[in-house]
Chain A
Amino acid sequence: MERIQRKSKVRDFHQAKWNEPVIFELHQKGERGVEIPLSNKAIVSEVGDGISAIPDSIARKEKPNLPEIGQARVLRHYVRLSQETLGSDFNVEIGQGTCTMKYIPKINELLVRNPKIMELHPLQDESTVQGMLEIIYKLDLCMREISGMDHFSFQPSGGTQALFAMAAIARKYHESRGEADQRNEIITTIFSHPSQAATAAVKGFKVITLHPDEDGFPDIEKLKAVVSERTAGFVVANPEDTGIYNPRIKEFTDIVHEAGGICYYDQANANGLLGITRAKEAGFDMCFFNLHKTFAAPHMCGGPATGALGVTEELKEFLPAPIVEFDGDKYYLNEDLEHSIGKVRAFHGVAQTVLRSYAWIRALGPDGLKEVAQTAVLNNNYLYHKVQKIRGASAPYVKGQRLEQVRYSWEQMAKETGVTTEDVQRRMTDFGLHYWTSHHPYIVPQPFTLEPTESYSKTDLDEYIAALEQISEEAYENPEVVQNAPYNSTIHKLDEQDFLDDPEKWCITWRAYQKKTKQPERI
């Protein structure tokens, strides 16, 4: 036997490729995927066919044009599609900066599959859901410690919804003081998530966006210039998408408070801060955490999720109702909040995510949470140090001072080789790695944002760095290799033309595709 040599620094990878038809093409008339539990004969003899009761004006005349497919084939189809999806369970998932793609513990998945959560109805009598309410309440207590806030609602079911709820609270708060008409401006920063600006606009606010100073910090002079008696609130992330922590944050919140506005903190991603620094001490009135980011709930292709919303005592009465409280004996739902913004989502939000995050916190404990933050920051600074050495890559703005993530730039490489960040994105796929560019607009040219979290080992980080190094080498030596990527993915480069932007050509459903690509009939 000879030793098998494995010298390649990057992974020799190929994504699953099944070339599956679209599900409608699997149709075989007469096949059946599952049996429905039909009414028993005694019921049928009592009430007849049931559907005669439907007024003719609203009876469905033709069955929906759904495919008929046997169970095994449906399963095989979807399992194949799943294999063509690069979940974080088998990926060094550090390329989706700002989203805190960390390890999703399997024990938590086992716990949420318990029928004693899966089969609970949200309107059950409180006495029958004491365990669930206790979990919600205890997660609330943990969140209070982590943030310094006084009460949490888990009703918002994503970061965007939490930001919307905070904008709604800002409006309601000023309404309660008779200043809603006057205070119609929300101030945010360009390196904060687009949803901060978008949700403020949905809630009827004028949005003022601050651009950074030359070091990449939110510009305090610009803030001073825009605060006024019209200021309703200030929303910001810290660190922002750049990963740069703004040390003057308390001055920012003071300035806004002096002007009569309230301050809300986007902590969608708080992974570098657990046990280190909190919303309260920085002067915020509200904050939210994405449980599917910092608190290890899975992202599930984009939800369901939770944006855990915390407020100070003063704003408790504005929270979406109900919130869970404890009277010393039993847990109960408190619907009675005087200034409540009402509802943002049905019932109580996503209970499974709450359970997962509670379990994650309990698996770490207070010291473990702090280790999470410190290791995430260590990993990020290691990566920061290494990536800047790659030819054509840089990290704009101030040196150092990065916490959990960094926004990098391929500006130099793009200028020198023509290879763009989008090209790198496709090429990374060839090594079994995910890479995201950044939120728009691209203030940092040719951007990419890496966030290694605490979940990845040094070896994992080195693998990711090696792939970036290889792509940089390719860009300088043979840019077409990168520009025509991917090669080892499920599919090749999309031939987009204007198929996605021309109303005459876009096909958002299979039936639209059938209509718009109708073959001429043979003569």
Chain B
Amino acid sequence: MTNKVHPYIPNMVPEVKEEMLKEIGAQSTMELYSCIPEELQLKKDMDIPEALTEYELRRHVEGLLSKNISANEYLNFLGAGCWQHFVPAVCDEVNQRAEFLTAYAGEPYEDHGRYQALFEYQSLLAELVDMDVVNVPTFDWGQAAATSIRMAARITGRKKILLASTVAPERSKIVVNYGSPELEFDFVGFEENTGLLDLDDLASKLSNDTAAIYFENPSYLGFIESQGAEISKLAKKHGALMVVGVDPISLGVLAPPSQYGADIVCGDLQPLGMHMNYSGGQAGFIATRDEEKFVNEYPSRLFGIVPTVKEGEYGFGDVAYERTSFALREKGKESVGTQTALWGITAGVYLSLLGPNGMYELGQTIMQNSQYAVKQINKIPGVKGSRLSSPFFKEFIIDFNDTGLSVEAINKKLLEKKIFGGKDLSKEFPEYGQSALYCVTEVHTKDDLDQLITSLKEIVTN
């Protein structure tokens, strides 16, 4: 055992340890473990490398990280659920504040700021999605969708769920995992050339047992689903709820799903001020109308505004706490715990910075940049810039089938040219053959896009 006092463990100081042991009447710290039976005590030393000093640690970890190539170094066109966007410096400044970084579960008194910041996040996102209730964030879009769907099942008292076949396959896995065995899932087809939901198939699968239809807009494949109002009408006919997943960064220019009939809206906050972090920036949100039957089905914490005993002072607290698993264990609504609160605060900062005009300009810029990319890619022989004919937002399918090359081969060549090509869809959507999902945002300059286009041209023509 090392005798050196570790900087993280002040009470390793021998005199202090002695004094404390004396106070409690013990001879050694190991004596305090006498309740652990001998046969359960670990006899061997753990095979973990010896301790590093802070300087050594920094050298070691930075050495490991240096083996990575980031999207700052290469051009990145990957999206598919995690997207590269511009992150305002103020977002990082706020979420790196030690106060927010190291706070946890304080009360409305010592953590007034945390409560207010999360209430404000709820309020700002509520404006973006045009609904009156938003929760403290969940884990990610997939889990937010799963919970939205489970909420719909509880609200309707039904078990059957319809999912659009264009829902991100990885998200579907999360949804089905969280929903089974209680719920039954069925998939609704889509029109191959547009991506749009097959309304006939939907009509044939909807019944008075259907709890909810869930689709995403913009979809995983990038296209904009323009039939929201029709889908809602069909769902309503059967008393089913419409649950819509949305990329919130599109909502400066796209109508929020509540305006075309969504009952529950969910999505991922990562685009709103979170770095990609190898997927560590994901955070889910759920929004509904301010109706008791909806609010009471949230598993999440919901912060509300209240007066204090002092006139003119804002206070904040937990709304309808008794519905949660914190209060009721297995009888609460699903489960709640540590999820992604800091990303909620950050998304609030982001929306405060951008405001209505920033969100509009951002949406427009993404549409312009991505349309430019598609238009130029279309000029490459054998390549279709967008496999789908529908309008799209941020992401689109590039069809390489006529080049005779696989996406895998193309991406390998792109990597040599310091470009991360789009996600290979050939396994997830075999109907599109050798196609890839590309993501273009406001971070891409014309030079970046031209570099992609030139590179693709070289690869497919050589």
Interface residues as binary, B160-192 with A (CB distance below 8 Å gives 1, 0 otherwise): 000000000011011011101110000000000
Asked whether any CB of chain B lies closer than 8 Å to the CB of A508, the reply is yes
Tell me the complex Cα distance, A371–B17, Å. Answer: 12
Asked whether any CB of chain B lies closer than 8 Å to the CB of A519, the reply is no
- Partner of A197 from the list B118, B281, B330 (CB cut-off 8 Å) is B330
- Partner of B341 from the list A33, A66, A303, A345 (CB cut-off 8 Å) is A303
Tell me the complex Cα distance, A456–B8, Å. Answer: 9
Q: Can you report 25 residue pairs joining A to B where beta carbons are below 8 Å apart? A: A46-B372, A50-B364, A54-B367, A57-B260, A66-B351, A75-B93, A75-B94, A84-B113, A111-B58, A111-B62, A114-B62, A123-B80, A132-B68, A198-B332, A275-B42, A276-B41, A290-B338, A304-B283, A368-B2, A371-B12, A454-B11, A457-B10, A460-B10, A491-B308, A508-B133
Shortest A117–chain B CB gap in Å is 6
Asked whether any CB of chain B lies closer than 8 Å to the CB of A74, the reply is yes
- Partner of B102 from the list A88, A158, A345 (CB cut-off 8 Å) is A88
- Partner of B8 from the list A103, A161, A489 (CB cut-off 8 Å) is A103
- Partner of B329 from the list A23, A66, A209 (CB cut-off 8 Å) is A209
> With a CB–CB cut-off of 8 A, which chain A residues contact B180?
204
- Known interface pairs A303-B338, A499-B307, A500-B320. Does A194 touch B332 (Cβ–Cβ under 8 Å)? yes
B310 in contact with A492 (CB, 8 Å): yes
- Which chain B residues (54-68) contact chain A, with CB distance < 8 Å? 54, 57-58, 60-62, 64-68
B314 in contact with A491 (CB, 8 Å): yes
- Which chain A residues (54-104) contact chain B, with CB distance < 8 Å? 54-55, 57-61, 63-69, 71, 74-75, 77-91, 93, 96, 99, 101-104
Asked whether any CB of chain B lies closer than 8 Å to the CB of A40, the reply is yes
> With a CB–CB cut-off of 8 A, which chain B residues contact A292?
338
Give the one of B2, B277, B292 with max A CB within 10 A. B277
- Which chain B residues (70-84) contact chain A, with CB distance < 8 Å? 70-72, 74, 76, 78, 80-82, 84
Interface residues as binary, A502-523 with B (CB distance below 8 Å gives 1, 0 otherwise): 0100111111110100000000
B362 in contact with A36 (CB, 8 Å): yes
Asked whether any CB of chain B lies closer than 8 Å to the CB of A24, the reply is yes
Asked whether any CB of chain B lies closer than 8 Å to the CB of A478, the reply is no
- Partner of B60 from the list A82, A362, A429, A456 (CB cut-off 8 Å) is A362
- Which chain A residues (130-183) contact chain B, with CB distance < 8 Å? 130-132, 134-135, 142, 145-146, 157-161, 163-164, 168, 171, 180
Asked whether any CB of chain A lies closer than 8 Å to the CB of B205, the reply is no
> With a CB–CB cut-off of 8 A, which chain B residues contact A382?
20, 23-24
- Partner of A69 from the list B45, B128, B279, B352 (CB cut-off 8 Å) is B352
The interface-forming segment of A221-229, A255-263, A347-355, A409-417 is A347-355
Shortest B197–chain A CB gap in Å is 13
Tell me the complex Cα distance, A287–B303, Å. Answer: 32
Chain B count of residues within 8 A CB distance of the other chain:
214
> With a CB–CB cut-off of 8 A, which chain B residues contact A128?
68-69, 74, 415, 420
- Known interface pairs A46-B372, A118-B277, A401-B35. Does A33 touch B342 (Cβ–Cβ under 8 Å)? no
> With a CB–CB cut-off of 8 A, which chain A residues contact B361?
36, 38
Asked whether any CB of chain B lies closer than 8 Å to the CB of A328, the reply is no
Interface residues as binary, A483-497 with B (CB distance below 8 Å gives 1, 0 otherwise): 000100111111110
B446 in contact with A40 (CB, 8 Å): yes
User: Chain A: interface residue count, which band?
Assistant: 35 or more
- Which chain B residues (1-20) contact chain A, with CB distance < 8 Å? 1-2, 6, 8-12, 16-17, 19-20
Asked whether any CB of chain B lies closer than 8 Å to the CB of A314, the reply is no
B177 in contact with A344 (CB, 8 Å): yes
> With a CB–CB cut-off of 8 A, which chain B residues contact A470?
none
A276 in contact with B304 (CB, 8 Å): no
> With a CB–CB cut-off of 8 A, which chain B residues contact A296?
8
A117 in contact with B65 (CB, 8 Å): yes
- Known interface pairs A121-B76, A511-B126. Does A368 touch B6 (Cβ–Cβ under 8 Å)? yes
The interface-forming segment of B136-144, B207-215, B399-407, B451-459 is B136-144
- Which chain B residues (318-338) contact chain A, with CB distance < 8 Å? 318-322, 325-332, 334-338
- Which chain B residues (185-238) contact chain A, with CB distance < 8 Å? 217, 224-229
A302 in contact with B70 (CB, 8 Å): no
B48 in contact with A361 (CB, 8 Å): yes
Tell me the complex Cα distance, A400–B290, Å. Answer: 50
Top 6 nearest A-B pairs (CB, nearest first) are: A365-B51, A160-B337, A33-B353, A84-B113, A131-B67, A347-B279
Shortest A224–chain B CB gap in Å is 19
The residue in chain B whose Cβ has the minimal distance to the Cβ of A360 is: B8
Asked whether any CB of chain B lies closer than 8 Å to the CB of A338, the reply is no
Shortest B413–chain A CB gap in Å is 12
Interface residues as binary, B23-44 with A (CB distance below 8 Å gives 1, 0 otherwise): 1101001101101110111100
B105 in contact with A99 (CB, 8 Å): yes
B132 in contact with A434 (CB, 8 Å): no
Give the one of B110, B182, B314 with max A CB within 10 A. B110
> With a CB–CB cut-off of 8 A, which chain B residues contact A363?
8, 51-52, 54, 57
Asked whether any CB of chain B lies closer than 8 Å to the CB of A458, the reply is yes
A507 in contact with B356 (CB, 8 Å): no
B120 in contact with A301 (CB, 8 Å): no
> With a CB–CB cut-off of 8 A, which chain B residues contact A39?
364-365, 368-369, 372, 446
**Further pairs besides A122-B82, A124-B76, A506-B295: 4, Cβ < 8 Å:** A50-B368, A131-B67, A281-B39, A303-B338
> With a CB–CB cut-off of 8 A, which chain B residues contact A53?
367, 371, 391
A85 in contact with B74 (CB, 8 Å): no
Shortest A2–chain B CB gap in Å is 32
